[in-house]
Amino acid sequence: MAERKKNVDAVIIGYGWTGAILAKTLTDAGLSVVALERGPGRDTSPDFEFPRIADELKYGVRGDLWQPLAKETVTVRHTPNDVAAPYRKYGSFVLGNGVGGAGVHWNGQLWRASPEDLNLRSHIEGRYGKKFVPTDMTIQDYPVSFAELEPHFDHFEKVCGVSGTAGNLRGQIMPGGNPFEGPRSDEFPTPPLPPIFAAQIFEKAAAELGYKSFPCPAANSSIAYTNPYGVRLGPCNLCGFCERFGCFLYSKASPQTTILPILEGRSNLEVRTNAYVTKILVDNTGKTATGVLYVDESGREVEQPAGLVVLSAFQMHNVRLLLLSKIGTPYDPVSGKGVVGKNYAYQMCAQTAAYFSEDVEINPFIGAGAAGQRVIDEFNSDHFDHSQVGFIGGSLIYAGATGGRPIDQMMVPPGTPAWGDGWKAAIRKHYRHSAPLGTQGSVMSYRDRYLSLDPTYTDSHGLPLLRITFDWHDNEYKMAAYSAAKMEEVVRAMKPEKQATILMRPGNHYDVRIYQSTHTTGGAIMGSNPSNSVINRYSQSWDVSNLFVYGASAFPQNIGYNPTGLLAGLAYFSAAKLRDTYLKSPGPLVQA
Amino acid sequence: MGNSSLFDRRQFLLGVVPAATLGTLGVAGCSSNGPTPPSSSYAPTYFNTAEWAFINAAVARLIPSDGAGPGGVDAGVPEFMDRQMELPYGHGAYFYMKGPFLDNSPPTLGYQLRHTPREIYRFGIAAANSATQKSQGKDFPLLSVADQDHFLAAMEKGEVTFATVPAAVFFAQLLTNTKEGYFADPLYGGNRGLVAWKWIGFPGARADFTDWIDQAGRRYPYGAVSISGATDG
């Protein structure tokens, strides 16, 4: 029999970015809130202290900040007819764990979506005709516009102290920024750091080709900065231990460095760590959540009753918990009906390594997750005419090292032996003189790509794992090849001695062994009505009106940008509606 | 071979070695030195005598000591590997290890064996020695270095068959752990004297490039430092 805790106004499942955003909103409004986090508590000190954090093996390879797969993983198969195999070792994506979630080990590349990403289907059909969208492609519009989200994008950038250069300020195209971005109401809160050397070479080459490169929007603050909540961040020093690490300098924005300090000590907030939620409880009507069930760190089952449930775990965990709780109709790929698990999507990325001569000092170990990098956005979203290219979507193209980690990021040219004298000579010759470039490409959603519960494999509590059914479609092979060709063109203009590209080509299946992107999306998507989505424009469950679901699980299809800016914008948009409307008069915010 | 993960990390993207062409990689250059003696006075905890001899011999070929640059054995890689076997990693604690274990899963779905890294070594080393006993009448460490290189390459390509674990899986773990030990902070037992970092020009745990933000393109002048603060190991 589960121990039953005292009722609270709201319970939050998952204490990462969106959990922190909602914890602030709800406690500001005077609600009593319990936040449940499956992993341990973590803070800059002592968990990310220098020099212990500068340990590639521990954090970059073994992944001590990641979700322990031994306890819970996912299973993966390529088609609905295959048997799924468990994701036993990290490869394709790395999941966060603990307070701060993936917001601790992320890179801090903080993008907004392009305006047309948010009304993608109607935009594409309007510009290219209805037949342009393949029949098995299940993309749909967000039920919220760029203009509605813009104030929330702007606010989150200020919370994070994002460094960058505006490209479109209130409709005016600005020199040095991204001319393809939607109109922003304000400049970035902090100026960009100068480009690192590889990014400088890229910038020059891109300019020669007529492309407008700009600094990657970086939640790696460039200066001492105080955010709107009064929390202070410090300048990034390009330490090289950013991606996959926690930041010891209070530079990389994370819940710990931006929001959690002001929540510390609030009497109406209790954070319980090592609390593994197993079920969202609903009453006998099935339309009202009554709280959650979780297993605490001693292994006891605990019931936490609550009037409002905030589901703010990672994308995959949100979907799994909805399925385990039997909330909403699971998606059926045969009939196309049902919504929970629908429209799982990913990203397709290509990489080019540029090998320079030994007088070109790339210093690959100097770099951050985002600061110092340069990007071109000409070939992303619908920034170019797609009528002749035969695909929908695109990629951003970026240059800039994220630490030159010797175990994980050593680059040697094709043909180099993997071991022996030849390898040893090659690593000396190339390590300091090679630069990585990449595309980050969108993946559309399809009828046969979805999430469900695995019939065989279970977590350490005996509950079914989430099952991913995913493989690439022709649209994405074409998109990636097109983007990679553009990247290679820029790299040639950078004049390396050699260059080599890794690209998924038709016939290459989705491969879980190779790191590609942790930007997994969908499964609890937002839409205009209950037949096409799990949540409405305010992130509110259509089925259970006192349940709100946050994160990239809301994305109806993926974008060619990192997801954190968009998912935080959606969370703040929802939080404002909760504060202004829902808390005064609970109930459905959109009539089905 | 249908159920193994040979290439499970980002390095294979950044290393620009398409999985489809990995089988065609050339064999490393061979030299004619005799068997390399085991590293220092370190007494292994996990590996038995025969295994320790194998690890030392294999590491000496994967990252040789002859020629320019530090060798894996001199850098302490065997000690690193033995110590890793005693840590959660060696016991498979980082991996999802619940069954059932699929026999016919496509390689793209990743590692599907029931074995921990410790078991991969235990089975793999025994199988390797037994294979060279059968073909050449000697354990692997007693082969000429040319024959050692030939046998390592055969395992790498999956051209030898072991009854217990796929040879290519065993080789992939051996090579991965060797490079981990070579490049990891010396606190784990390898990269002694920061030799691997010095060899490639990686400054280790320095982690502060404020003074280099405005000097992009100039060679970074400061040497390597470890987490312990050592600059020479």
Minimum mean pLDDT range among A53-57, B16-20, B122-126: B16-20
Q: Per the domain annotation, does A119 fall within a domain? A: yes
Is B28 within 8 Å of A425 when comparing Cβ atoms?
no
Residue-level pLDDT at B21? 31
DSSP state of A218: B
Which of B184, B207, B213 lies closest to A57 in CB terms?
Answer: B184
| A251-273 per-position pLDDT tens digit | 999 999 999 999 999 999 999 99
Q: Where is pLDDT greater, at A171 or B38? A: A171
C-beta of residue B61 within 8 angstroms of C-beta of residue B145: yes
Q: Per the CB < 8 Å rule, is A428 touching B196?
A: no
Are A85 and B220 within 8 A, CB to CB?
no
User: Is B7 touching A (CB cutoff 8 A)?
Assistant: yes
Nearest beta carbon to residue B96 from set A61, A86, A239: A86
> Do residue A407 and residue B7 have CB atoms under 8 angstroms apart?
no
Residue A399, domain member (yes or no) = no
Report the pLDDT value the prediction gives residue A559, as an integer from 0 to 100: 98
What is residue B10's predicted lDDT score, i.e. its pLDDT? 36
| B57-87 residue pLDDT tens | 999 999 999 889 999 999 999 999 999 999 9
- Which chain A residue has the Cα nearest residue B152? A419
Q: How far is A212 from chain B (nearest CA, A)?
A: 21
Closest CA of chain B from A55, distance in Å = 7
Query: Which of B64, B95, B229 faces A69 most closely, judged by CB atoms?
Result: B95
Question: B56 in a domain, yes or no?
Answer: yes
B190 domain residue, yes or no:
no
Residue of B nearest to A242 (CA): B207
B contacts of A421 (beta carbons < 8 Å):
28-29, 31, 64, 66-67
Most A CBs within 10 Å, among B200, B211, B219, to test the A interface? B200
Catalytic residues of A, which ones? 519
pLDDT for the residue B67: 87
The three-state secondary structure class of A491 is helix
Residue with tokens 């059909």: A125
Note whether B89 contacts A: Cβ–Cβ < 8 A: yes
Q: What are the helix (H) ranges across A463-579?
A: 474-493, 564-577
Q: Note the pLDDT of residue A7.
A: 98
How many structural domains is chain A composed of? 1
Mutation for B interface: A245, A409, A419, most B CBs within 10 A: A419
Listed residue (A519, A50, A35) closest to A251, CA to CA: A50
β partners of residue A502 = A351
The answer to whether residue B31 scores a pLDDT higher than 50 is: no
Domain-located, residue A2: yes
What's the order of all strands across the beta sheet hosting A434-441? A214-215, A374-376, A395-399, A434-441, A351-355, A498-502
**A306 occurs within a structural domain:** yes
Question: Does the residue A543 lie in any domain?
Answer: yes
- Asked whether the beta carbons of residue B94 and residue A425 sit closer than 8 angstroms, the reply is no
B86-100 per-position pLDDT tens digit: 999 999 999 999 999
Contact (CB<8Å) B110/A89: yes
Digit-coded pLDDT (tens) for A472-529:
999 999 999 999 999 999 999 999 999 999 999 999 999 999 999 999 999 999 999 9
Both tokens of A359, joined, read 């007088």
Number of C-beta neighbours around residue A128 at 10 A:
15
Amino acid identity at A150? E
Mean pLDDT of the region A210-238: 97
Helix/strand/coil (H, E, C) string of chain B? Answer: CCCCCCCCCCHHHHCCCCHHHHHHCCCCCCCCCCCCCCCCCCCCCCCCHHHHHHHHHHHHHHCCCCCCCCCCCCCCHHHHHHHHHCCCCCCCCCCCCCCCCCCCCCHHHCCCCCCCHHHHHHHHHHHHHHHHHHHHCCCHHHCCHHHHHHHHHHHHCCCCCCCCCCHHHHHHHHHHHHHHHHHCCHHHCCCHHHHHHHHHCCCECCCCCHHHCCCCCCCCCCCCECCCCCCCC
Instruction: Judge whether B112 is closer than 8 Å to chain A, CB to CB.
Output: yes
Answer whether A54 sits within 8 Å of B227, measured CB to CB.
yes
Q: Is the pLDDT of residue B35 over 80?
A: no
Looking at this predicted complex, what is its ipTM?
0.97
Residue of A49, A71, A88 best to disrupt the B interface, most CBs of B under 10 A: A88
Q: What is the mean pLDDT of chain A?
A: 98
Record: contact A428-B89, CB cut-off 8 A? no
- Note down the domain range covering B144: 11-185
Report the number of distinct structural domains present in chain B.
1
**B179, pLDDT greater than 60:** yes
What pLDDT sits at residue B66?
87
Q: Closest approach of chain A CAs to the CA of B143, in angstroms?
A: 17
Q: Which residues of A touch B218 (CB under 8 A)?
A: 361
At A358 the pLDDT is 96
Mutate one of B11, B83, B176 to test the A interface: name it (highest A CB count within 10 A). Answer: B11
pLDDT of residue B1: 30
From the list B93, B108, B216, which residue is nearest A510 (CB)? B108
Q: Which residues contact A584 (CB under 8 A, 6 or more apart)?
A: none
Q: What is the pLDDT of residues A351-402, one digit of tens each?
A: 999 999 999 999 999 999 999 999 999 999 999 999 999 999 999 999 988 9
Least CB–CB distance from A422: residue in B28, B89, B217? B28
Nearest CA in chain A to B150: A420
Chain B environment of A500 (Cβ under 8 Å): 16
- Two tokens, residue B26: 């050339």
Q: Which residues form the domain of A35?
A: 1-74+103-162+218-330+522-592
Which positions in chain B touch A432 (Cβ < 8 Å)?
200-201, 219
Task: Give chain B positions within 8 Å (CB) of A69.
Answer: 94-96
Residue B9 has a pLDDT of 34
Q: Write the CATH number for A312.
A: 3.50.50.60
Query: Distance from B89 to chain A by nearest Cα, in Å?
Result: 8
- Asked if the structure places residue A393 within a domain, the reply is no
Distance from CA of A103 to the nearest CA of B (A): 20
Q: Which of B7, B63, B69 sits opposite A428 (nearest CB)?
A: B69
- The beta-carbon neighbor of B16 closest among A51, A90, A413 is A413
Query: Under an 8 A CB cutoff, do B5 and A76 touch?
Result: no
DSSP H helix total and E strand total for chain A:
13, 22
pLDDT tops 70 at residue A582:
yes
What's the gap in Å between the CA of B134 and the closest CA on chain A?
A: 25
B17/A432 CB distance under 8 A: no
CB contact under 8 A, B202 and A56: no
Q: Identify the band that residue B41 occupies on the pLDDT scale cut at 50, 70 and 90.
A: confident
Do residues A521 and A555 lie in contact, with contact meaning Cβ atoms separated by under 8 Å?
Answer: yes
Residue B40: pLDDT band by 50, 70, 90 thresholds? low
In a domain, B211, yes or no: no
Total beta-carbon pairs less than 8 A apart between chain A and chain B:
264
Is A241 inside a domain boundary? yes
